[in-house]
Amino acid sequence: MMDLIALRRDLHQHPELGFTEFRTAAKVVEQLTALGYEVLYGQDAIDGESRRGLPSPEVLEDAYQRALRDGANPQIVEKMRGGYTAVIGILKGKAPGPTVAFRFDMDALPILESTDHDHYPQAAGFRSLYEGNMHACGHDGHTTIGLGLAEKLADGNFSGTVKLIFQPAEEGVRGAYAVVQKGMLDDVDYLFCHHLGTNVPLGEVHGSCAGFLATTKMAAYFEGVSAHAGASPEQGRNALLGAATALLNIHAIPRFSTGETRINVGVLEGGTAANIIPQSARMVVETRSATEEVNQELERRVRNIIAQSAAMHELNYRIEVIGAAIPIHSDQELAELAIEEAKQVEGFTAFQVGAANSIGSEDASFMIRRVQERGGKATYMVIGTDIPAPHHHPKFDIQEEVLPRSVKLLERIARRTLQAEFSLSRAEGEDRK
């Protein structure tokens, strides 16, 4: 039987950023294959063009070479080279039935992990080996649970098809959309997503949660003309003047009476030297709203402000969407089902069918919407664990006892739903084949 703790610690020691999860994903491929799953990965599992906020080719290649050095299976990672790090494990049961999917995210964060003695991974000797990267959001746990679940279901004693979706680049909400665009969710009847922690204590389970915001993250590039600031300033086209004008006006987008909004220009960089009119600038902008419609309007206004700020200073510009998510509307029937099963698992002692956890944005939202659009049902659950420091903090950690009981919960959910006769009232959606 799989040693979940050891697996999680191995992953924790090798944290890989979004779209560079070569070692992690290769390990997932190996395990799923060994367990008898059909495995889709590389360009078979993710649509290249739809990936958002892809790192530069240099960064991708460096991470690739590191994975090879650290023992990743060369035949497997070769197919992932260039950032194709999604993995889908598929297992058909012994009889026909619904398709039930579970989603796990694999990526880490660019955070320097704490070396304090009271930080458990440090004390227990499994702190990050990749200095500056860290599993500070529990995705090492998510991936571990996914592989644990895969093992449990490998017997195939169910009716229908189980689909285990290991997604890259959830941080920055960049990877799920490309998995959806590849069609990986199109045949799913029931989708269960989950997150560990998010301020829910150990022992507590939420069958669904609300409060996810629609969001768009954009990178804008301004390109002007440099000139000597003393000798011929009039020959310059000043990229920073354009960018600073955009920055102020983006922040000045009004409040909306139709929904909570957020706006941020998180990064601005431009220019090279005191005596040179700045030729180039880069800006990173984020919009959020409780509704997709308002978020689209925010995005439209941001794009217009950037376009006109550029034109004002006779700059060229381009805008790239580097991340996006939409709100999540869980199906309550699945949430109730999940809680019913959680009550049967030792260790879970507190339960909520639905709760308003404000945990920002999630690109599982695209998976959930695709399933719902096609008539399926989906929910986003939270499995509690006490955490010594907030998510994305150098001292973040999870309690490892949450791992086996999470596997048990998901297995129960799978076996409950993977029955020939299982059916919930169908949602409105497009016809499915």
Residues contributing to the site for its own copies (CB under 8 A): 172, 213, 215, 217, 228-234, 236, 238, 240-241, 243-245, 247-249, 251-252, 254-258, 260-278, 281, 284-286, 288, 297, 304-305, 308-309, 311-314, 322-323, 358, 360-361
Q: Which residues contact residue 211 at a Cβ distance below 8 angstroms, ignoring those fewer than 6 apart?
A: 356, 357, 358, 359
| 38's tokens | 């059909």
Between 255 and 433, name the residue whose CB sits nearer to its own copies.
255
Distance of CA 277 to the CA centre of its chain: 39
Contact 193, 381 (CB under 8 A): yes
Between 13 and 238, name the residue whose CB sits nearer to its own copies.
238
Between 242 and 404, name the residue whose CB sits nearer to its own copies.
242
Give the single-character DSSP code of 49: G
Between 201 and 233, name the residue whose CB sits nearer to its own copies.
233
Minimum Å gap between C-beta 288 and its own copies is 5
Contact 222, 369 (CB under 8 A): no
Minimum Å gap between C-beta 134 and its own copies is 15
Between 308 and 344, name the residue whose CB sits nearer to its own copies.
308
CA atoms 371, 373, 375, 377: torsion sign: positive
- The answer to the question of whether 314 is labelled as a binding residue is no
Between 279 and 330, name the residue whose CB sits nearer to its own copies.
279
What span, in angstroms and rounded, lies between the C-alpha atoms of 366 and 372? 10
Contact 106, 21 (CB under 8 A): yes
Minimum Å gap between C-beta 112 and its own copies is 13
**Cα separation values, 260 from 212, 288, 304, Å:** 12, 8, 21
Minimum Å gap between C-beta 276 and its own copies is 6
- The answer to the question of whether 139 is labelled as a binding residue is yes
Closest by Cα among 169, 61, 167, 58 to 109: 169
Between 96 and 110, name the residue whose CB sits nearer to its own copies.
110
Minimum Å gap between C-beta 12 and its own copies is 22
Crossing angle, helix 402-417 and helix 4-13, to 10 degrees? 110
- The answer to the question of whether 16 is labelled as a binding residue is no
Minimum Å gap between C-beta 128 and its own copies is 19
Distance of CA 380 to the CA centre of its chain: 13
What span, in angstroms and rounded, lies between the C-alpha atoms of 271 and 253? 26
Neighbouring CB atoms inside 10 A of 9's CB total: 19
Between 104 and 212, name the residue whose CB sits nearer to its own copies.
212
Neighbouring CB atoms inside 10 A of 81's CB total: 15
Minimum Å gap between C-beta 107 and its own copies is 14
Closest by Cα among 432, 427, 418 to 163: 418
Minimum Å gap between C-beta 301 and its own copies is 9
What span, in angstroms and rounded, lies between the C-alpha atoms of 125 and 115? 10
Q: Which residues contact residue 221 at a Cβ distance below 8 angstroms, ignoring those fewer than 6 apart?
A: 280, 281, 282, 283, 317, 318, 319, 320
SS (H, E, C) 359-380: CCCCCHHHHHHHHHHCCCEEEE
Between 25 and 364, name the residue whose CB sits nearer to its own copies.
364
Minimum Å gap between C-beta 250 and its own copies is 9
What span, in angstroms and rounded, lies between the C-alpha atoms of 402 and 418? 24
Per the annotation, binding residues are: 137, 139, 171, 195, 392
Per the annotation, binding residues for Mn(2+) are: 137, 139, 171, 195, 392
